A and B are shown apart, each in its own frame.
Chain A
Amino acid sequence: MTKKFDLKPTIVLSAICVVMVALLAVVNMFTAPVIEAAQNAAANEALLVVLPDGKNFEEIDLAGKNLPSSIDKAYKEEGGGYVFRVTVTGKSAGLMIMFGIDKNGAIVGTKVIADEETDTYDVKVFPGVEGTEGAYKGMTLENFEPWLVSGATLTSKAYGEAAKTALGAFAVLNGGEVDFRTPEQILQDNCNAALGTEGKTFTKWFGLTVLEGVDKVYETDGGRVFIIGESFVAVNADGEVVTADAADADKTAVLNATAKIEGITFTDVAIPAGTSKEKAEVVSIQKTNEGAYVFELLGYGYQYVFDYGDYTPISIKLAIDAQGKIIDVLTVSHHESQGYGDACATEEYYEQYLGKGDSDIVESTDKYPHNHGDDLIASDNTDVGAISSATFTTLGYQRALKLAFSVFEVLTAEEGGNA
C-alpha cells in the first residue's frame, strides 16, 4: 500500500510565502522612495565635503562616456562643477577617493572614502599638509604635478593617478579629449604600432653593448622596437625595418644596432678565487665578444639585517663594459618591501647606474654600521643607488655591485697579466 502524498503543506506554505511577499511589496512601495531620498541626502552631504559650493547634485550616467573604469560615480552640480569617485590600487586594492572639481576645472577638495593603506605612512600622512582633504587643491589638468610622498610611494602614485583621472574626466565631459593611458600602456601601444602587432608585450632588452644612435630597445617574440628620441622604429624577426615612415638615418641606426645585438656572443668565465664577500655573491660571469662582462649577482637587501625566511636575496644582472662602466643593470627578482625596497626594480633606479664606474658607487657599509638597524634608518644616504626609506635594500644592492667591480678588477688584471 503506497502512502498518499499530501499536497496541503506545500500549498499552505507557498500561499503564506506569496501573501507575505505581497505584504512586503506594499510596504516597500511606501518606504522605498523615503529611503532613497534619505540616501540621496546623505550622499549629497558627502559631495559637499569636496565641493562646498555645489548645488543640486545630479548623478551622471557614465555609460558611453568613454571614461576609465576607475571612475565609478560622477555627479554634476548646477554651477558646472563635478564630483568624481575614483577607485584605484594603492598599496592595496580599493583606495576610493572623491574629487570635487569646480567649473574652471580646478580641484576644490578631495576625500579618501575607503582605504586599506598603512596608517602611519600612507593615507594618513599624505599629503602631510592639511590632511588628505587638502591634496591637489587648486590643480588643473594643465598645471598637474603629481605629489610623491617618500615612504608611501604606491599610495601617493595611486592618489596622483586618481587625481589626474578625475581632471581628465572633467575635460572629457566638457567636450575635451584626454589620453587616460598610463605611460607603460602608451609605451606598449607605441611598440605594437611600430611593429604592426596587437596586444604583444614588449620587455626592455638588457643592454650588453652600447648601441650608437639608439636610446632604448624593447623586444618581443616577433622582433625589436628601437626608441630614438621620440621615434619608435621596429625591426621584425627577419631583420627588416617595418616602420615605413622612419627616417633613413634611423633605419640605418637600427639595422646597425640589430646586427650588433645579433652578433654578440658569450663565453663563460670562472669566478676568481678569493673574491667572495659577506652578504653578496657572484653566481655566474660571462664575457661578450666585445669585452664586456655580464654578472649574475645576489645582494642581501632587507635580509642583510633581518634574516627572515620571506626575504630572499635580490637577484641582479649587471653588464660592465671593457672600460669598467656600467652598460646596464636589472633586478631579476626580489622580495623587498612593497612601497619601499621594491623601487630597486624600476626603470628610474636602473638609469642612475648607467655609465657609472666603481668609484661612483659608495658602498653603504663603508659609512654605516651594518648591524644596527636604527642607525641605518636614521642615516641619510644620498649616494647613487640609494633608495629613500629602504636603507637595507640600498645596502644589499650596492654591496653586490661593488663585489662585481672588485671581481671585474681581478679579471681585467688577470687578462693584463696573460697579455
Chain B
Amino acid sequence: MKNSKLMIVLRGIIMENPVLILVLGTCPTLATTNSLVSAFSMGIAATLVLICSNAVISALRNIIPETVRIPCYIVIIAGFVTIVQMLLQAYLPDIYKMLGAYLALIVVNCIILGRAEMFARKNGVVDSILDGVGMGLGFLLALLVMAFIREVFGAGAFFGIELGFMENIKIPALTQAPGGFLVFGLVIAVMNKLTEKKGGVKRKSFSCEGCPSAHICNKTSCSEMEETIQDVPETKTAEGEDA
C-alpha cells in the first residue's frame, strides 16, 4: 500500500515527468527557465494549483456530469490560479511581477488539465493529491534543471548571484528563446538515454484520454499504435479500423 502511494509520487517525478517524458507545459517551461528564481516560482505556483485542483476534481468526480466536466475543471483550475495570483500579488509582489502573464496562463497549462482528465477524475482524493505532488515536483525539477543550465551557462549567474569565473565563458544565447529550445532538447535526450538503460519508459501505461489525437487513431495506447504500424501496411490498417 505504502509502496503504491510512493509510486504515484515518484512516477510524476521521473517515469512520467510531465515536461521531459510527457512533453507537456512546454510554453511556461521555455518562458520561465531563463532564471532559477522565476523557474522555482513557476514550479511552486503550478504545483499548488495542481494539488488543489486535483483534490477538488477528485472529490467531485462522482458529482460532475461527463458532459460538462471540462468546463467544470477549467472553472476550478482558474479559481485556484486566481487565488495564487492574489496571494503572490499581496505577499510576494516581486515574484508576481516577474512571472507576469505566465502566472495567469497556468490556467491553460496542459499538465494541470491533463492530470485532472487522466488521473483525478478516476482516483480518490488522497491519490490525486499525491499525483499532484509528484507531477508538480516533476515539473519543478524539470524547470530547475533547465533554469540551472540556462542561468549558469547562459547568464553566468546562480539565483541572480553573478558567478565571476563564468564571465568569459558564458553563452548568452542560452538565455534567449533559441537557447531555451536547445537546452530543452538536450535535457529530453539525456532523460531518454537514462530511462533507456532501465528498460525505457513504458509508454503503453499512458492513457489516450488526454491526447488530442485520440479520436483520430482509435487505439487504446500509443504502443498499440506502434505495433499496428510495424505489422500491417498503413492503408490496410486504416480500412480495417474503419470497418
Give A contacts to B, CB under 8 Å.
Answer: 6, 8-10, 12-13, 16-17, 20-21, 23-24, 27-28, 30-32, 34-35, 38
> In the complex, A35 Cα to B97 Cα: how many Å?
13
Given A35-B90, A38-B93, also A16-B75 (CB < 8 A): yes
Task: Out of B65, B79, B82, B90, name the residue touching A9 (CB < 8 Å).
Answer: B65
Instruction: Tell yes or no: B240 within 8 A of A by CB.
Output: no
Instruction: Tell yes or no: B238 within 8 A of A by CB.
Output: no
Instruction: Tell yes or no: B72 within 8 A of A by CB.
Output: yes
Shortest Cβ gap from B113 to chain A (Å): 15
In the complex, chain A residues whose CB is within 8 Å of the CB of B65: 6, 8-9, 12
Task: Out of A16, A23, A27, name the residue touching B72 (CB < 8 Å).
Answer: A16
Instruction: Tell yes or no: B91 within 8 A of A by CB.
Output: yes
Given A9-B68, A12-B68, also A38-B82 (CB < 8 A): no
For window 79-122 of B, CB contacts with A under 8 Å fall at 79, 82-83, 86-87, 89-91, 93
Given A12-B63, A23-B79, also A28-B72 (CB < 8 A): no
Instruction: Tell yes or no: B60 within 8 A of A by CB.
Output: yes
In the complex, chain B residues whose CB is within 8 Å of the CB of A35: 86, 89-90
6 A–B contacts from the bound complex (CB under 8 Å): A12-B64, A20-B79, A23-B83, A27-B87, A31-B91, A38-B93
State the main secondary structure of chain A at its contact with B. helix
Docked-complex contact B76 and A16, CB < 8 angstroms: yes
Name the residue on B nearest A26 (C-beta): B83
Shortest Cβ gap from B239 to chain A (Å): 34
In the complex, chain B residues whose CB is within 8 Å of the CB of A16: 60, 64, 72, 75-76
Shortest Cβ gap from A15 to chain B (Å): 9
Name the residue on B nearest A11 (C-beta): B65
> In the complex, A360 Cα to B79 Cα: how many Å?
77
For window 41-99 of B, CB contacts with A under 8 Å fall at 60, 63-65, 67-68, 71-72, 75-76, 78-79, 82-83, 86-87, 89-91, 93
> In the complex, A9 Cα to B93 Cα: how many Å?
38
In the complex, chain A residues whose CB is within 8 Å of the CB of B78: 20
> In the complex, A78 Cα to B63 Cα: how many Å?
59
Name the residue on A nearest B87 (C-beta): A31
In the complex, chain B residues whose CB is within 8 Å of the CB of A38: 90, 93
Name the residue on A nearest B89 (C-beta): A35
In the complex, chain A residues whose CB is within 8 Å of the CB of B89: 31, 35
> In the complex, A20 Cα to B76 Cα: how many Å?
7
Shortest Cβ gap from B13 to chain A (Å): 29
> In the complex, A10 Cα to B64 Cα: how many Å?
10
- Nearest first, the 10 closest Cβ-Cβ pairs linking A and B are A20-B79, A31-B90, A34-B90, A9-B68, A31-B86, A9-B65, A13-B68, A27-B83, A35-B90, A9-B67
Given A12-B64, A12-B72, also A24-B90 (CB < 8 A): no
In the complex, chain A residues whose CB is within 8 Å of the CB of B90: 30-32, 34-35, 38
Docked-complex contact B67 and A28, CB < 8 angstroms: no
> In the complex, A17 Cα to B64 Cα: how many Å?
12
In the complex, chain B residues whose CB is within 8 Å of the CB of A31: 86-87, 89-91
Shortest Cβ gap from A140 to chain B (Å): 39
Docked-complex contact B93 and A17, CB < 8 angstroms: no
Name the residue on A nearest B64 (C-beta): A12
Name the residue on B nearest A21 (C-beta): B79
Shortest Cβ gap from B25 to chain A (Å): 23
Docked-complex contact B72 and A13, CB < 8 angstroms: yes
Of the listed residues A8, A10, A12, A17, the one surrounded by the most CB atoms of chain B closer than 10 A to its CB is A12
Shortest Cβ gap from B82 to chain A (Å): 6
> In the complex, A192 Cα to B38 Cα: how many Å?
63
In the complex, chain A residues whose CB is within 8 Å of the CB of B72: 12-13, 16
Shortest Cβ gap from B67 to chain A (Å): 5
In the complex, chain B residues whose CB is within 8 Å of the CB of A13: 68, 71-72, 75
Shortest Cβ gap from A183 to chain B (Å): 45
Docked-complex contact B75 and A27, CB < 8 angstroms: no
In the complex, chain A residues whose CB is within 8 Å of the CB of B63: 12
> In the complex, A31 Cα to B68 Cα: how many Å?
31
Name the residue on B nearest A38 (C-beta): B93
> In the complex, A27 Cα to B90 Cα: how many Å?
11
Shortest Cβ gap from A400 to chain B (Å): 55
Name the residue on A nearest B77 (C-beta): A20
